[in-house]
Structures are given as C-alpha cells and as structure tokens.
Amino acid sequence: MRYVIFCFGWFNICLGVLGIFIPGLPTTVFFLTALWAFSKSSVRFHRWLYHHPTLGRTIRDWHQHKVIPLPAKIMALTLMTASIGVVFVTTSWNLGLTTGPGGDSFHGSPFYHHPGQPSVRRDGSTSQS
C-alpha cells in the first residue's frame, strides 16, 4: 500500500507541474496532495517537496498559515485573464460570454478571499486560522 501511495504522490507532482504551464489546471492542490502522499510513504520525498527551493515556499505558506502569496495570486489571475482573452479571440462572442468569464471568475474567487500573508497578532505571533 505504501508503494501505491508513493506513486500517487508522484502522479500529483506530475499534474502540479502540468498545472504550471496549463491555465485553469491548479498546481498547489496537487502539490499539497503529493505532500500528504509522501508523508504516508516517504519521509525523504516529503522533506524534499516541503523544502523545495521553488515549490516549497507556497506549500509551507499554505500548510502553516493558510495563505496564498501575493505573487502567486497575481500570476494565477493574470493567466486566468489571458485565458479569457483567448476564449474571446478564438470563439464566437456568445460562446465566450457563457464559458470564459463565468468559469474563470468562479475559479479565481478563492484568490480574492484568502489572505496574502499571515495575520500578525499584537504579541508578534502569527495566526493559524
């Protein structure tokens, strides 16, 4: 069973990497799922992903503080907006109105509501909620 969960972790890593290049495909959720899978199957790869120089910061920010960093928000919303533009250019006006903005607005809404940095309490500690 441990081997199956380990393979599931790598499957999610692959999906997360694809999500970096394909607008609309999430990345962080796949990396968080991979982190969970590696926590159950491989301490080495769990540590590797958690402390990864490129991916690790976003994963740690979400895991520790439930925040989405501002640069990630900007990049995600920029790519979603660009995909709306592609829909408008490559399809008829009516199809673009029904599929583009509605879908991307729905997918983009979590970015608006999650904080960009941890809340700092008066005693200097950060909140976990």
What pLDDT score does 72 carry? 73
- Kindly state whether residues 56 and 9 are assigned to the same domain: yes
Radius of gyration, alpha carbons of the chain: 17
- Kindly state whether residues 1 and 62 are assigned to the same domain: yes
Quickly count: other Cβ atoms within 10 Å of residue 102's Cβ.
11
Which residue, 66, 82, 103, sits at the end of a domain? 66
Q: Is residue 123 part of a domain?
A: no
What pLDDT score does 82 carry? 80
Q: Is residue 129 part of a domain?
A: no
- Kindly state whether residues 38 and 9 are assigned to the same domain: yes
- Kindly state whether residues 84 and 108 are assigned to the same domain: yes
What pLDDT score does 13 carry? 94
What pLDDT score does 87 carry? 74
CA atoms of 76 and 24, how far apart (whole Å): 9
CA atoms of 112 and 93, how far apart (whole Å): 27
- Kindly state whether residues 1 and 29 are assigned to the same domain: yes
Q: Name the CA dihedral angle for 13, 15, 20, 26, rounded to a multiple of 10 degrees.
A: -110
- Supply the pTM of this predicted model: 0.59
Please report, in tens digits, the pLDDT of each residue of the chain (129 residues total).
999 999 999 999 999 999 888 877 778 888 989 999 999 999 999 999 999 998 888 888 877 887 777 777 787 778 777 877 777 777 765 554 545 444 544 455 555 555 666 665 556 665 554
- For residue 54, the enclosing domain spans 1-66
Q: Is residue 118 part of a domain?
A: no
Q: Is residue 98 part of a domain?
A: yes
